[in-house]
Chains A and B, each alone.
Chain A
Amino acid sequence: MRLDRRQFIKQAAISSAFATAGALFPGISFGGWSSLAQNSGMISWQKSPCRFCGTGCGVLVGVSDGRAVAVKGDPNCSVNKGLCCMKGYHSVQALYGKDRLTKAMVRKNGSLVEVPIQEALDLIAQKLQETKDKHGKDSVAMYGSGQWTIPDGYVASKLFKGCLGTNNVEANARLCMASAVTGFMTSFGLDEPMGCYEDIDHANVFVTWGNNMAEMHPVLFSRMLAQRKRKVDVKIIDFATRYTRTSQAADKTIIFKPQTDLAVANAICYEIIRNDWVNSNFVNEHVSFHKGKTNIGYGTEDHFVFNDKAEPMSFDDFKVFLEDYTPEKVEKLSGVPAKDIKYLASLYGDPSVKVTSFWCMGMNQHTRGTWINNLVYNIHLLVGKISTPGNSPFSLTGQPSACGTVREVGTLTHKLPHGVVMNEQDREMAADIWDVPVENIDPKPSYHTVEMFRALDRGDIKFIWIQVTNPMVTMPNLIRYRDGALKDDRFVVVSDVYPTPTTDVADVILPAAMWIEQEGMYGNSERRTQHFAQIVDPPGEAMSDTWQIIEVARRLGFEKQFPWDESDYIEKIWEEYRRFHAGPKHEMAPYSVLTQRSGVQWPFVNGKETRWRFNPKYDPACTNGKEYDFYGKKDNRAWIWARPYEPAAESPDSEYNFWLNTGRVLEHWHTGSMTRRVPVLHNAVPSSYVELHPEDAAELGVVNGERVKIISRRGEITMPAQINGRGVPVRGMVFVPFFDESYLINEVTLDAFCPISKQPDYKKCAVRLEKA
């Protein structure tokens, strides 16, 4: 036992040294260490994807005496090739926080009391049925997560959409990548990237669009740095609104004013055309031009409705549209020097250079998120730099299964596992596979996430079940939604692994199995499905989210639809779900293959993974006999969109004179409910702070650590200042990480969203500052 304990401590010592090295030297790699730390015979190692971000690193989890005691990068996983970031190396410690939820709790007379989990499940089924009977099917809702496993999301969708007949299924991925989805759908007609991480090994130029990859996707950033070191002609361009660790490592940082990325992207297109850098053969053969509605609003009012309408336009019309976006005009709006815009255009326009663009929340959490996604695709399409190794417009995801569970399973109000609820054939397919009457599936979407919590506040929704997410920290304009959840006749069920501000508002808390305490699958940013076995037992009465839903479904009378046995239900669910994606455009690997490999990319056709879609050299779904086949759209072309610059929903003015930008830090995962319970990670960044520009801090009269009050039209918060820390905002902007529930920055943010994707903008609202 002593030997085990010392091995564990040595692993912690190694992990801490790696974490320290990673913080001091971004991109540092210890890929060869696994050969030095081989199995001692007392620790067994099993593969899993990492629990945290959307990169999907493969990890090997070391288990001793039934306890996960160590992590190392999986050298067989092509994503990370044996490397992890500091969150990954410490991930298993998140299983063992002292206040882990192990028993169900029910609120009785205002207090939460422990009950057997079966009693809690009885109560949930009873309340769900009563609410539906009394207030109608759309009075009950499920709110899940991009951290749901694929089976979690699948059974949730099957129960709510197929059996209960409501489209009130949403997931927190609405808050992180809905604009990426609508960007893909409007430009290509199919979701998810055409490229893969191997693009990093081929590109000469990387442009990070509002994307601090050094902290948010550190392993991929390391691969970029390694590529730059390997080859002499590789550049990293950081296109950003604040200076970050990505800026420190980039060859060039170009700072733009918030929201003006729209104008800069159009100016790049203008320059490409003006300089005759357009790949005319590609454009003529594979691209069509369109415009949509303008002045489309911001969704800040309840019941906001918007439907875009595409109209065709010609290339000449598109050129006329771009005349408003000369580099000189855009310099005045964006603050980006015209020469830098021309420089960016020259990189994209040079036919000898392979360019990969990366983005994540900066472009997606944007009131014109769909548009900016379209505009970056426009750039790549004009020069034909797409769907070939190294030429890749690449939308990264933030959560481990935002792609796998939310986008592919379709746990959004309008989606089904294949297609959308509005489409009759898609409903028929779902009804057939789910063994429910087709009439059960409502053809009309109900509430997207912001509107779902507005409906809870209004009382249109009375029952909500929240799994694997923490909306009472993450919802923008939070005060309204917390007050709504606390209203007397609302019934809130929360399944989680630790107490959070969301369990604080719960009527029932279910203890959930976490990550490797259950079997499951995630789907990462590059269309890779990653299976993990149950490696350790969950504590107490904790139960997988999938099984919780199955238990409730059976209590509601849906035994026929949920017939599985606990011994093999994940395999059975996977094989049922896989039927939705049959065919060369989205074929998923069988269960037997998933269990053997460190992730499999779809489409998986005839035993082969597809690296680059729409390119017949790699993609078996291409059938048109041409160099590319953009088969997602009916015209077999990718669409270039004329999308104008429009201002943010709320910009600084004389009263609220600062931009507020929010986001994450390397050490913490989302709201910190797991990583803040890992001592090394918590001690590295123990609390949140507000980053200020040094000159703004001087004007305000605050020094590092002094408290600053941040006030918006919705709320206020007081927190310590950080000046010249890891991130430095430009003058007139402050940045606050949202991982710390002691500082609920979303009480200050605005619940404006992209009218097409319905994804809120957490990067831009107006605040004023006071020295506290």
Chain B
Amino acid sequence: MPIFSYLAMPREGAREDLCTELSNLEYCQIIPAENKEIVVLVTDTPDEDIERSLQLKLKNLTSLQSLSLAFGYDEQD
């Protein structure tokens, strides 16, 4: 049951698109910075399969330039 937080950086001019795309993904919560082109992304998935699937979706987001991991936690059942 992993929980991760990331700093998500949008491609140039794609901040709003990134916020929309991330908000539409299940298991994701976003907190956009007010004054920088940065979005905090928190993922909270129920198991490793779903986590892997989410990671794939994140990699395919066209509005996303990069993800930097800030926090990671994996609670074992």
Question: Which positions in A face B, CB cutoff 8 Å?
Answer: 6, 9-10, 12-14, 16-21, 24-25, 27-33, 36-37, 225-226, 229
Contacts and interface: CB of A to CB of B under 8 A. Distances in A.
Contacts of A12: 71, 73
Given A20-B68, A24-B7, A30-B40, A13 B35 contact: no
Contacts of B68: 20
A9 B34 contact: no
The SS class assigned to the B binding surface is: strand
B3 A28 contact: no
A21 B35 contact: no
Nearest to B4: A13
Nearest to B68: A20
Contact of B40 (A9, A14, A225): A14
Contact of A14 (B5, B32, B73, B75): B5
Interface of B: 1, 3-7, 29-36, 38, 40-42, 44, 68, 70-71, 73, 75
Contacts of A37: 31
Given A6-B44, A10-B44, A30-B40, A16 B5 contact: yes
- Top 7 closest pairs, chain A to chain B, by CB: A13-B5, A16-B71, A17-B5, A17-B70, A13-B71, A20-B70, A33-B31
Contacts of A6: 1, 3, 44, 75
A312 to B, nearest CB: 50
24 contacts: A6-B3, A6-B75, A9-B75, A10-B3, A10-B29, A12-B71, A13-B4, A14-B5, A14-B31, A14-B40, A14-B42, A17-B42, A19-B70, A20-B70, A21-B7, A21-B36, A21-B38, A24-B7, A30-B32, A30-B33, A32-B31, A33-B31, A36-B29, A225-B35
Contacts of B6: 17
A71 to B, nearest CB: 15
B31 A9 contact: no
Given A10-B3, A10-B42, 16 more contacts: A12-B73, A13-B3, A13-B4, A13-B5, A14-B31, A17-B6, A17-B31, A17-B40, A17-B70, A20-B7, A28-B36, A29-B34, A30-B33, A31-B34, A32-B31, A32-B34
A18 B42 CA distance: 11
Contacts of B75: 6, 9
A220 to B, nearest CB: 15
Given A16-B71, A17-B5, A17-B70, A226 B40 contact: no
A51 B38 CA distance: 28
Given A21-B7, A36-B31, A28 B71 contact: no
The SS class assigned to the A binding surface is: helix
Contact of B32 (A10, A19, A27, A32): A32
Contacts of B3: 6, 9-10, 13
Contacts of A29: 33-36
Query: Which among A18, A30, A36, A229 has the greatest number of chain B C-beta atoms within 10 A?
Result: A30
B33 A21 contact: yes
Contacts of A24: 7
A25 B38 CA distance: 9
Contact of B7 (A17, A31, A36): A17
Nearest to B42: A13
Contacts of A9: 3, 73, 75
Contacts of B30: 36
B16 to A, nearest CB: 14
A226 B34 CA distance: 10
A13 B70 contact: yes
Query: Which among A13, A31, A37 has the greatest number of chain B C-beta atoms within 10 A?
Result: A13
Contacts of B35: 27-29, 225-226, 229
Contacts of A229: 35
Contacts of A27: 35
A16 B69 CA distance: 10
B32 A13 contact: no
Nearest to B30: A36
A21 B41 CA distance: 12
Nearest to B1: A6
Contact of A30 (B29, B34, B42): B34
Contacts of A225: 35
Contacts of B33: 21, 25, 28-30
B77 to A, nearest CB: 10
B34 to A, nearest CB: 4
Contacts of A18: 40
Nearest to B40: A17
A394 B36 CA distance: 28
B73 A13 contact: yes
Contacts of B36: 21, 25, 28-29
Nearest to A37: B31
A24 B6 CA distance: 13
Contacts of B41: 17
Nearest to B43: A13
A16 B40 CA distance: 10
Contacts of A31: 34
Query: Which among A10, A19, A229 has the greatest number of chain B C-beta atoms within 10 A?
Result: A10
A175 to B, nearest CB: 35
Nearest to B7: A21
Contacts of B7: 17, 20-21, 24
B5 A30 contact: no
Nearest to B44: A10
B15 to A, nearest CB: 14
Query: Which among B33, B38, B44 has the greatest number of chain A C-beta atoms within 10 A?
Result: B33
